Structure 1
Amino acid sequence: MFRLKKIGFSVVLLFFCVITIVAQNKIEREHRILKSQFPEVLYTKEKLGDDVKKIKYYKEVGPQEVVYTTKFKKVKLHYHMQYSNNGDLQNIGFRIKQVDFPFEAFTAINNQLVYSYDKFKIIRMYQQYPVQSKEDEASVLKSAFMNLMEPNMQYRLIVKGRKDGKKVLKEFWFTASGSFVKERNMLPANYDRVLY
């Protein structure tokens, strides 16, 4: 009898340890919010120009911080601007295609992905410009809207692939030359709103 209680207690303890370890790997997901829920920011539609269309607001809650994103269309490009919780601009970028990459950079990125996955497909690609300080914001916006090739810009790729028989969805960051910076697991799109 005592031995059964000891085994039962061990199983319960093991279960809670596994749950605690799994809970440490939090993955972020963004969801759409209203403009009134977005923090007060410096760059509004009036400051970005009259050619800004289809503005949407998103909030992403992660393990370390809350990030707010504005997505819009300007001069046939799909832009995004990420802000911190208190409204400071973190980066700006836009969606690109494979033909927009320099050949050497895309070759280096593709080689890294071939090495990482058995099979993969690039879902989306972005060219983004990080903001280092408040003083850099104006020059970063100018570089992004003029589509300039800057040494500090980054490429962000959303990749769906298969590794060791498992499906994975990840977000990768690479430098302008194609060197690996970091990666992050992603959740698949949320289809809770679809009833049938």
Structure 2
Amino acid sequence: MNTARIIIAIGFMFFSFVAEAQQKYEREYRIKSEIVPQSAKEFIDSISSDSKIKWYKEISLNDITIEAKFKHDKKKFSVEFDTLGKLQDVEFVIKKREIIPEVYNQMERKLDSLFHKWKFRKIQKHYSGKSIDVVTSIRENEPSDSIKVSYEIVLKGKKIQYTQLYEITFNEQGEMENILEIIQDKADHLEY
């Protein structure tokens, strides 16, 4: 009888976790710089004038955005704008060791509580706020007090027998803010 209760409790926890994770789907299309809003191009020029910029239109479940991808100071950057060229956020890839140890330990405890096993695919530091403050933070390689800093982690997580890719957002203190189950496009997996 106790075994049945344990199995039911585990099943309930598993399905409630899967149900609470919202879904994320994104599709990117390369676009020419001629159709990018001028304000978006000017923002990118203020950060990096010597890098090759690749522009994308990104379609998600809720939104359409314009995204610039480039390298700056040996880091991969992704800058997202709305369709009118207003800055939404800046992300850049970092290594695990670049996260303050106390913050990383907080994240790790949360991930251990959510998943049986997990493995990082990508870690990004995320800046949002006023354009001028974001530019200053990127140039000085140090976030100003006036911008919001968070971490966006893509990982492969296993819960019981269910393995899936997730995007998890943590705040600057390492507290989880959001979890999204990544929907992969079947066309991405075709092998020729």
TM over 0.5: yes
Deviation at 1:149, TM superposition (A): 4.1
Inter-CA distance 184–31: structure 2 relative to 1 (3 Å threshold): same
Residue range with higher mean Cα deviation, 149-158 or 82-91: 149-158
1:129 and 1:144 in contact (8 A); partners too:
no
Gaps of 5+ in 1: 1-24
Look at both structures and tell me which one has the larger radius of gyration over its CA atoms. Answer: 1
Q: Secondary structure, in 3 states, of the residue corresponding to 1:52?
A: coil
Deviations 1:20-39 (A, max 9, x none): xxxxx763123232225753
SS at match of 1:153: strand
The answer for the alignment partner of 1:35 in structure 2 is 32
One-letter amino acid of the structure 2 residue matched with residue 32 of structure 1:
Y
Q: Which residue type is aligned with residue 39 of structure 1?
A: V
Count of aligned pairs between the two proteins: 167
SS at match of 1:108: helix
Deviation (angstroms), 1:63: 2.7
Identical aligned residues as a percent: 22
1:16-27 to 2 correspondences below 5 Å: 27=24
* Structure 2: runs of 5 or more not aligned: 1-21
Q: How does 1:148-163 map to 2 (within 5 A)?
A: 148-150=142-144, 152-163=148-159
Computed over aligned residues only, the root mean square deviation of the Cα atoms, in angstroms, reads 2.3
| C-alpha distance in structure 2 between counterparts of 1:185 and 1:176, whole Å | 22
What is the alpha-carbon distance in structure 2 between the residues aligned to residue 128 and residue 161 of structure 1? 21
TM-score normalised by the chain length of structure 1: 0.75
Residue 114 to residue 41, structure 1, CA distance change in 2 (3 Å): farther
Higher relative contact order (CA 8 A, sep 6+): 2
User: In the TM superposition, what is the alpha-carbon distance from 1:105 to its structure 2 partner?
Assistant: 0.5
Q: 1:56 aligns with which of 54, 57, 60?
A: 54
Which residue identity does 1:137 align to in structure 2?
A: S
Structure 2 counterpart of 1:78, which letter?
K
Q: Does 1:174 align with 2:170?
A: yes
Farther off after superposition, 81-90 or 181-190: 181-190
